[in-house]
């Protein structure tokens, strides 16, 4: 049995992966089996979130016992195949007639390799333009013109200590066009960026130029809404600090999704804004950057005009994007954080104003220094969001570090306020039925869709997996059956009566036509005789109604996977882990699930599964870090 047959027999491939391999075989019957299998696996890798596939570690993609070729033999077959391009340089476009690219140890579908190349090129373009050439000598706020230095001190009273990373971030942002601000929940990313925006406005007004055109964006509607709300709160706090309200008035008060920002085109994955029709903006601030996949980030970066700023905010310890990429990790690999950041690398770049000409960082001539990636990164570590109700920080830190002994002891001690461990409980829907059901049943009492959507965010079951007894799909079916039982004159089972008053829905594919996107959550409400599904719109007070039959692909959302919950927060989270280890479990998954909780966290799972999950990283295959010139030791 050859490799492709073995993969098919093991059920490892999707129809699409197999079809790709078969079409190459039809075009050239002499194509070696290992090349056909690599094509199928490169296609499969994308749905698993990878940019490409590593023939040296096929077991990471397919767990079934397969007699894999040796990496050397596989690489050799790939390099000599007519279907596989092996570009000479990371920034060279690959041959259009080869559907596969083999580069730096990864086999890519050409389209994804090109996204990666274009993204790297776009990031370098943004980062290497200097916002204010005449100020290039100014390295930090200490050298700001007096009027700005005064405002800076007002905005960042702790700056004088020299230890305050928030002021470092803002000071850096004044002089660099590509900035990454990372940190866990509540470390002040949005607060810092709001203050930085005030500085940029003041800088422009002082120079007698128009205030910068600023956009706040995020990958999902909910995340965009949360970001705008945080900015509005931060602005309020500034007004209280005595900052001139006229400056704050130039800041945006609403957020938008990346799709909306770029301008969706019905029934197309292209956008209205691109390199030839760039965004009419001077500053683009994007939150939840860890959720952005490779194609979307490439399109965003290409649409950022020359000379504009791009600020990416995110939590690098969260799960990578559901779709192909792990883009934020790749960028961070090439951009170590500036300044002291507990437990992380410290690095103060000396290249702050070295112009960074375009060029291949990897294949530079011997003796020449690779061009440093022209981005700046500040990692914020101090948690500012004090909640008397939920003391999550010590647990989140242990999970992030993969320290299962500490995580388990914190969970078992029960001393963290708001954190509850249901050890060995595989079915909270059984053990805590009344409490959980009371919440979902109450959703049917709302008559106002905006209120119903807000209430829905009070509690959520989050799962690691979709299938199986602890999977989101099975739990939703059971919850719907239970709810059908609680409704008066329930009639047919909920499963038969798919759309019922109070049903929560989760969109599972992007629909540009509806402006509904993967991960959006809505609620079915009956108004008179008509049942409509309501989803958040641009204005949180005015959700948009859809006829359920007209919706793009969707599921129920009483329980949902942690992956789908990225970018959302819920007052009470029930994190339900599978009984047995599953390869999707990782420390990033647990960390992301736990940090979705605002007031109360319940974890249901066993010691073995938690230990196993914390021993694994949710790493993805990606060549972005390498392409951006990351040092070998920082590449995952
Ligand atoms: N320097 C500061 N001084 C006082 N309070 C601060 C400071 N920085 C942030 N905060 C407060 O901490 C809270 C969280 O800040 P912010 O929303 O900016 O964090 P974040 O990192 O963007 O959080 P998330 O990732 O959850 O969106 C806010 O209430 C904010 O007012």
pLDDT tens digits along 81-92? 999 999 988 888
Measured CA to CA, the distance from residue 446 to residue 556 in angstroms comes to: 18
Q: Which H or E element spans position 231?
A: helix 221-240
Binding residues for ATP: 183-190
pLDDT tops 50 at residue 134: no
pLDDT tens digits along 506-545? 998 878 778 787 788 999 998 878 899 999 876 778 899 9
% of the chain surpassing 70 pLDDT = 90
Q: Do both 406 and 472 map to the same domain?
A: yes
Question: Which residue's alpha carbon is nearest to atom 8 within ligand 1?
Answer: 188
Strand order in the sheet with 178-183: 256-257, 214-218, 283-286, 309-314, 178-183, 376-380
- In which domain, by residue range, is 309 found? 145-339+372-384
Residue 339 is predicted with a pLDDT of 63
- Taking a C-beta distance cutoff of 8 angstroms, is the pair 227, 255 a contact? yes
Residue 72: give its domain's CATH number: 1.10.10.1020
Determine whether the shortest distance from the Cβ of 321 to ligand 1 is under 6 A: no
Q: Is residue 332 part of a domain?
A: yes
Number of the ligand 1 atom closest to the C-alpha atom of 383: 12
Q: Where are the beta strands (DSSP E) in 319-384?
A: 376-380
Q: Is residue 127 part of a domain?
A: no
Question: Which residue's alpha carbon is nearest to atom 6 within ligand 1?
Answer: 384
Q: Is residue 304 part of a domain?
A: yes
- Taking a C-beta distance cutoff of 8 angstroms, is the pair 195, 170 a contact? yes
Question: Which residue's alpha carbon is nearest to atom 14 within ligand 1?
Answer: 186
Residue 21 — pLDDT band, cuts 50, 70, 90? very high
Residue 297 is predicted with a pLDDT of 96
Determine whether the shortest distance from the Cβ of 195 to ligand 1 is under 6 A: no
pLDDT tens digits along 28-77? 999 999 999 999 999 999 988 899 999 999 998 998 889 999 999 999 99
Q: Are strands 544-546 and 530-535 parallel, antiparallel or unpaired?
A: antiparallel
Determine whether the shortest distance from the Cβ of 188 to ligand 1 is under 6 A: yes
pLDDT tens digits along 349-379? 333 333 333 333 333 344 444 568 899 999 9
Q: C-alpha dihedral over 624, 625, 629, 632, to 10 degrees?
A: -140
The CA 182 to ligand 1 mean position distance, Å, reads: 12
The CA 259 to ligand 1 mean position distance, Å, reads: 26
Q: Is residue 449 part of a domain?
A: yes
Cα 115 to Cα 293, 302, 332, distances in angstroms: 10, 10, 18
Q: Do both 508 and 608 map to the same domain?
A: yes
- Taking a C-beta distance cutoff of 8 angstroms, is the pair 217, 226 a contact? no
Residue 214 — pLDDT band, cuts 50, 70, 90? very high
Better pLDDT: 550 or 325: 550
Q: Do both 543 and 402 map to the same domain?
A: yes
The CA 87 to ligand 1 mean position distance, Å, reads: 45
Copy the structure tokens of residue 493.
């089972």
Measured CA to CA, the distance from residue 202 to residue 618 in angstroms comes to: 42
Determine whether the shortest distance from the Cβ of 568 to ligand 1 is under 6 A: no
Q: Which ranges of 516-628 does DSSP label H, i.e. alpha helix?
A: 562-565, 587-594, 607-614, 624-627
The CA 409 to ligand 1 mean position distance, Å, reads: 29
Q: Do both 530 and 573 map to the same domain?
A: yes
Residue 199 — pLDDT band, cuts 50, 70, 90? very high
- Taking a C-beta distance cutoff of 8 angstroms, is the pair 519, 567 a contact? yes
Residue 139 is predicted with a pLDDT of 47
Q: Is residue 53 part of a domain?
A: yes
pLDDT tops 70 at residue 633: no
Q: Do both 397 and 521 map to the same domain?
A: yes
pLDDT tops 70 at residue 242: yes
Assign residue 54 a region (left: φ > 0; alpha: ψ between -120 and 50; beta: otherwise). beta
Residue 472 is predicted with a pLDDT of 96
DSSP, collapsed to helix, strand or coil, labels residue 510 as coil
pTM above 0.80, yes or no: yes
Cα 339 to Cα 157, 342, 613, distances in angstroms: 18, 10, 31
Better pLDDT: 384 or 100: 100
Q: Do both 91 and 10 map to the same domain?
A: yes
Measured CA to CA, the distance from residue 312 to residue 335 in angstroms comes to: 12
Q: Do both 478 and 536 map to the same domain?
A: yes
Residues 595-610 have a mean pLDDT of: 95
Binding residues: 183-190
Q: Is residue 513 part of a domain?
A: yes
Residues 553-559 have a mean pLDDT of: 95
Determine whether the shortest distance from the Cβ of 314 to ligand 1 is under 6 A: no
Determine whether the shortest distance from the Cβ of 592 to ligand 1 is under 6 A: no
Residues 543-554 have a mean pLDDT of: 93
Residues 217-239 have a mean pLDDT of: 88
Residues 487-508 have a mean pLDDT of: 70
Helix, strand, coil tally for the chain in percent (to 5): 40, 15, 45
Q: Do both 412 and 526 map to the same domain?
A: yes
Q: Kindly report which listed range (370-379, 403-412, 607-616) carries the lowest average pLDDT score.
A: 370-379
Q: Do both 104 and 150 map to the same domain?
A: no
Number of the ligand 1 atom closest to the C-alpha atom of 287: 27
Q: Do both 467 and 537 map to the same domain?
A: yes
pLDDT tens digits along 469-488? 999 999 999 999 998 876 65
Tell me the pLDDT of the chain averaged across its residues.
87
Measured CA to CA, the distance from residue 285 to residue 182 in angstroms comes to: 13
Residue 511 is predicted with a pLDDT of 80
Determine whether the shortest distance from the Cβ of 186 to ligand 1 is under 6 A: yes
Copy the structure tokens of residue 317.
């310890």
Q: C-alpha dihedral over 100, 106, 112, 117, to 10 degrees?
A: -110
Residue 132 is predicted with a pLDDT of 56
The CA 450 to ligand 1 mean position distance, Å, reads: 26
Q: Is residue 491 part of a domain?
A: no
Determine whether the shortest distance from the Cβ of 522 to ligand 1 is under 6 A: no
Number of the ligand 1 atom closest to the C-alpha atom of 164: 1
Q: In this structure, which long-range contacts are made by residues 532-540, counting pairs with CB atoms below 8 Å and at least 24 apart in sequence?
A: 533/499, 533/505, 534/449, 534/452, 534/453, 535/507, 536/221, 536/222, 536/225, 536/453, 538/254, 538/256, 538/260, 540/225, 540/450
Domain boundary among 384, 419, 449: 384
pLDDT tops 50 at residue 456: yes
Tokens 């990606």: give the residue: 622
- Taking a C-beta distance cutoff of 8 angstroms, is the pair 503, 524 a contact? yes
The CA 234 to ligand 1 mean position distance, Å, reads: 8
Number of the ligand 1 atom closest to the C-alpha atom of 192: 18
Residue 138 — pLDDT band, cuts 50, 70, 90? very low
- Taking a C-beta distance cutoff of 8 angstroms, is the pair 514, 537 a contact? no
pLDDT tops 60 at residue 574: yes
Q: How many residues does the structure list for the chain?
A: 636
Determine whether the shortest distance from the Cβ of 81 to ligand 1 is under 6 A: no
Q: Do both 307 and 439 map to the same domain?
A: no
Residue 461: give its domain's CATH number: 3.40.50.300
DSSP, collapsed to helix, strand or coil, labels residue 550 as helix
pLDDT tops 50 at residue 346: no
Q: Is residue 137 part of a domain?
A: no
pLDDT tens digits along 109-130? 999 999 999 999 999 999 999 7
Q: Is 241 exposed, middle or buried (0-12, 13-18, 19+ CB in 10 A)?
A: exposed
Determine whether the shortest distance from the Cβ of 194 to ligand 1 is under 6 A: no
Q: Do both 424 and 551 map to the same domain?
A: yes
Total domain count, the chain: 3
């Amino acid at each position: 049995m050859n490799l492709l047959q073995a993969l098919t027999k093991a059920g490892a491939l999707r129809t699409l992966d197999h079809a790709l391999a078969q079409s190459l075989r039809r075009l050239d019957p002499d194509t070696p089996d290992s090349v056909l299998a690599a094509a199928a696996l490169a296609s499969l890798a994308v749905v698993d979130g990878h940019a490409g596939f590593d023939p040296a570690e096929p077991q990471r993609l397919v767990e079934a016992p397969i007699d894999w070729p040796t990496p050397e033999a596989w690489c050799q077959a790939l390099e000599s195949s007519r279907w596989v391009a092996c570009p000479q340089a990371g920034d060279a476009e690959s041959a259009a007639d080869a559907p596969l690219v083999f580069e730096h140890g990864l086999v890519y579908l050409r389209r994804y390799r090109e996204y990666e190349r274009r993204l790297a090129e776009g990031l370098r373009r943004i980062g290497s333009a200097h916002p204010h050439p005449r100020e290039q000598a100014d390295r930090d706020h200490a050298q700001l013109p007096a009027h700005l230095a005064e405002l800076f001190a007002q905005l960042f009273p702790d700056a004088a200590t020299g230890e305050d990373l928030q002021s470092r971030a803002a000071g850096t942002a004044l002089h660099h066009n590509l900035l990454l601000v990372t940190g866990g929940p509540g470390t002040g990313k949005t607060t810092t960026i709001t203050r930085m925006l005030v500085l940029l406005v003041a800088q422009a007004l002082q120079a007698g130029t128009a205030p910068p055109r600023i956009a706040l964006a995020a990958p999902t509607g909910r995340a965009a809404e949360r970001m705008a709300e945080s900015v509005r709160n931060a602005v309020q706090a500034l007004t209280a600090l005595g900052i001139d309200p006229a400056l704050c008035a130039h800041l945006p008060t609403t957020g938008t999704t990346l799709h909306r920002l770029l301008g969706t085109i019905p029934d197309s994955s292209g956008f209205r804004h691109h390199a030839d029709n760039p965004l009419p903006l001077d500053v683009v601030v994007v939150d939840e950057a860890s959720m952005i996949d490779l194609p979307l980030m490439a399109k965003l970066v290409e649409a950022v005009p020359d000379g504009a700023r791009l600020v990416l905010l995110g939590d690098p310890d969260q799960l990578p994007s559901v779709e192909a990429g792990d883009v934020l990790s790749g960028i961070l690999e090439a951009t170590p954080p500036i300044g002291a950041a507990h437990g992380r690398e410290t690095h103060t770049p000396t290249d702050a104003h070295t112009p960074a000409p375009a060029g291949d960082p990897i294949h530079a001539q011997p003796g020449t220094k690779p061009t440093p990636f022209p981005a700046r990164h500040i990692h914020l570590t101090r948690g500012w969001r004090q909640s008397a109700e939920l003391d999550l920080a010590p647990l989140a830190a242990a999970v992030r570090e993969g320290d299962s002994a500490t995580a388990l002891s914190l969970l078992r001690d029960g001393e963290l306020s708001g954190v509850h461990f249901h050890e060995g409980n595989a079915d909270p829907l059984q053990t805590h039925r009344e409490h959980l059901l009371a919440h979902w049943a109450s959703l049917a009492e709302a008559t106002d869709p905006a209120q119903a959507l807000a209430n829905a965010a009070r509690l959520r079951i989050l799962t690691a997996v979709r299938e199986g007894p602890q999977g989101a799909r099975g739990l939703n079916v059971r919850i719907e059956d239970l709810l059908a039982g609680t409704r008066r004159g329930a009639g047919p089972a909920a499963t038969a009566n798919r759309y019922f008053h109070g049903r929560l829905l989760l969109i599972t594919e992007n629909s540009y036509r509806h402006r509904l996107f993967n991960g959006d959550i809505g609620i079915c409400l009956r108004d008179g005789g008509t049942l409509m599904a309501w989803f958040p719109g641009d204005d949180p007070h005015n959700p948009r109604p859809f006829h359920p039959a007209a919706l793009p692909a969707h599921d129920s959302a009483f329980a949902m996977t942690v992956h789908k919950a990225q970018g959302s927060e819920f007052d009470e989270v029930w994190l339900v882990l599978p009984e047995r280890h599953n390869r999707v479990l990782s420390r990033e998954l647990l960390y992301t699930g736990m940090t979705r909780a605002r007031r109360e966290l319940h974890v249901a799972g066993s010691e073995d599964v938690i230990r196993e999950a914390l021993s694994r990283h949710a790493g993805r295959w990606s060549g972005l870090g390498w392409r951006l010139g990351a040092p070998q030791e920082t590449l995952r």
